């Protein structure tokens, strides 16, 4: 916890705003922040992010925890709070509470191959893990990596500026898909058209050694995990992160529960075996 009082926000200055999507269907921007009192966090965790006089919303960390002097959040314009965040520019003040929630079990995953599948904005909570694992200090602890990025259209990919760097990482194969054919997209053995759950069988991976990490809309996660299970993968080896509506972030308000679990403290990261034991409310 950044402070002893989890309700007390820390002041942060927006250092930079980056437009991520170039499409008519969604508007996503990344905010790079410098906190007055920086804190450590782990890939998969989230914060409560507020604008004074407007309100508070929940966002996952979108930058590597190994970067100490700044942190990034990638935010889609969805409603009142996010519209107001989207009006802010570099130099503005925002407020951060956190870090909250569990994280991807990076220690437990050592020695395994990794298969990331991210749909649209779902790449944001995966990016801290991706960059952490690619750090030279940690890359040797993991095996082969498949990265599979999905978006509605070419303009809907976020972090497109990272793709070339990631695709050149050692022992890594990088794939992309978009939902439907467009003139600007050339299909080949790494660039597909179609939903990811219909395509994973085209991607070679070792079923026994691989951990799948899936982030994206609930429909995509359900279809994808069914496809991985149909190929023979055990649900314990498939991880995802949930986005339930949250208020307190610390297990007190009861807003985010699924059955007996509070997504803010028991999650947001779960494996599919754990989700299989919970009511289908996500
Ligand atoms: C753990 C966690 C991590 C998240 N990470 C991110 C992130 O990295 N980037 C990002 O853009 N968003 C993220 N979200 C979703 C984000 O919190 C909501 O989009 C935001 O709170 C909407 O606030 P608003 O006032 O702008 O919109 P509202 O007016 O409250 O809602 C606008 C629309 O967004 C939907 N919505 C609101 N809250 C959620 C939610 N929690 N999950 C799904 N849909 C929601 C509403 O149903 C409505 O259709 C995350 C949510 C959680 C719980
Ligand atoms: S957000 Fe309050 S209990 Fe989870």
What CATH number is associated with residue 210? 3.40.50.80
Q: Which helix (H) or strand (E) holds 12?
A: strand 10-19
Q: Do 122 and 223 belong together in one domain?
A: yes
The C-alpha atoms of residue 179 and residue 152 are separated, in whole angstroms, by: 5
pLDDT given at position 119: 96
Residue finishing a domain among 48, 72, 100: 100
DSSP notation for 207-237: TTTEEEEEES-HHHHHHHHHHHHHTT--GGG
Q: Do 161 and 235 belong together in one domain?
A: yes
Q: Do 214 and 147 belong together in one domain?
A: yes
Shortest-distance atom of ligand 2 to CA 247: 1
What is the number of the ligand closest to the CA of 245? 1
Which CATH number do you get for residue 24?
2.40.30.10
Q: How far apart are the first and last CA of the chain?
A: 26
The reply to whether 70 falls in a domain is yes
Q: Do 111 and 245 belong together in one domain?
A: yes
Tokens describing residue 213: 């990490």
The reply to whether 148 falls in a domain is yes
Q: Do 145 and 246 belong together in one domain?
A: yes
130 lines ligand 1 (CB under 6 A): no
Tokens describing residue 53: 């006089």
Q: Do 53 and 176 belong together in one domain?
A: no
What φ, ψ does residue 127 adopt, rounded to 5°? -60, -40
Q: Do 96 and 71 belong together in one domain?
A: yes
The reply to whether 112 falls in a domain is yes
Domain extent for 86 = 10-100
pLDDT given at position 277: 86
CB contact at 8 A, 247 and 216: no
**How far away, in angstroms, is 60 Cα from ligand 2 center?**
15
CB contact at 8 A, 29 and 59: no
Q: Do 110 and 231 belong together in one domain?
A: yes
The reply to whether 282 falls in a domain is no
The C-alpha atoms of residue 103 and residue 105 are separated, in whole angstroms, by: 6
The C-alpha atoms of residue 162 and residue 129 are separated, in whole angstroms, by: 14
Q: Do 130 and 115 belong together in one domain?
A: yes
pLDDT given at position 266: 95
Q: What tens-digit pLDDT sequence spans the chain (282 residues)? A: 555 789 999 999 999 999 999 888 899 999 999 999 999 999 999 999 999 999 999 999 999 999 989 999 999 999 999 999 999 999 999 999 999 999 999 999 999 999 999 999 999 999 999 999 999 999 999 999 999 999 999 999 999 999 999 999 999 999 999 999 999 999 999 999 999 999 999 999 999 999 999 999 999 999 999 999 999 999 999 999 999 889 999 999 999 999 889 999 999 999 999 998 888 877
Q: Do 121 and 199 belong together in one domain?
A: yes
DSSP notation for 64-133: -TT--S-EEEEEE--SHHHHHHHT--TT-EEEEEEEES----HHHHTTSEEEEEEEGGGHHHHHHHHHHH
pLDDT given at position 3: 58
Shortest-distance atom of ligand 1 to CA 125: 8
CA atoms within 13 A on the CB side of 62: 22
The reply to whether 179 falls in a domain is yes
What is the number of the ligand closest to the CA of 267? 1
262 lines ligand 2 (CB under 6 A): yes
pLDDT given at position 22: 83
The strand pair at 113-119 and 145-151 is best described as parallel
Shortest-distance atom of ligand 2 to CA 249: 1
DSSP notation for 158-196: SSGGGHHHHHTSTTEEEEEEESS--TT----SSEEES-G
Question: Is this prediction's pTM over 0.75?
Answer: yes
What φ, ψ does residue 80 adopt, rounded to 5°? -60, -55
Give the count of beta carbons closer than 10 Å to the beta carbon of residue 198.
13
The reply to whether 272 falls in a domain is no
Q: How many domains does the chain have?
A: 2
Q: Do 24 and 82 belong together in one domain?
A: yes
pLDDT given at position 144: 98
**How far away, in angstroms, is 58 Cα from ligand 1 center?**
7
Q: Which helix (H) or strand (E) holds 145?
A: strand 145-151
Q: Do 187 and 172 belong together in one domain?
A: yes
The reply to whether 40 falls in a domain is yes
The reply to whether 174 falls in a domain is yes
């Amino acid at each position: 916890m950044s402070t002893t009082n989890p309700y007390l926000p820390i002041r942060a200055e927006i250092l930079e705003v980056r437009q991520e999507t170039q499409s008519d269907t969604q508007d996503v921007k990344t905010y790079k922040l410098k906190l007055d009192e920086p804190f450590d966090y782990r890939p998969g965790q989230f914060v409560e992010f507020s604008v004074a006089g407007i309100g508070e919303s929940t966002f996952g960390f979108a930058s590597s925890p190994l970067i100490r002097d700044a942190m990034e959040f990638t935010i889609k314009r969805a409603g009142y709070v996010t519209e107001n965040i989207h009006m802010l520019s570099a130099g503005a003040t925002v407020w951060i509470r956190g870090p909250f929630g569990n994280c991807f079990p990076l220690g437990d995953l050592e020695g395994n191959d990794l298969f990331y599948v991210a749909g649209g904005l779902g790449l944001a909570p995966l990016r801290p893990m991706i960059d952490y694992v690619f750090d030279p200090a940690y890359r040797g602890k993991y095996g082969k990596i498949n990265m599979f990025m999905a978006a509605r259209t070419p303009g809907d990919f976020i972090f497109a500026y990272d793709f070339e760097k990631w695709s050149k990482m050692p022992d890594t194969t990088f794939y992309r898909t978009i939902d439907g054919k467009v003139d600007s997209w050339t299909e080949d053995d790494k660039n597909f058209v179609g939903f990811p759950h219909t395509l994973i069988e085209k991607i070679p991976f070792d079923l026994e050694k691989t951990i799948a990490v899936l982030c994206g809309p609930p429909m995509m996660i359900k279809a994808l995990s069914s496809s991985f299970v149909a190929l023979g993968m055990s649900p314990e080896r498939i991880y995802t992160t949930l986005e339930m509506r949250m208020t307190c972030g610390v297990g007190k308000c009861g807003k985010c529960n699924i059955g007996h679990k509070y997504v803010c403290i028991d999650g947001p990261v779960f494996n599919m075996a754990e989700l299989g034991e919970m009511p289908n409310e996500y």
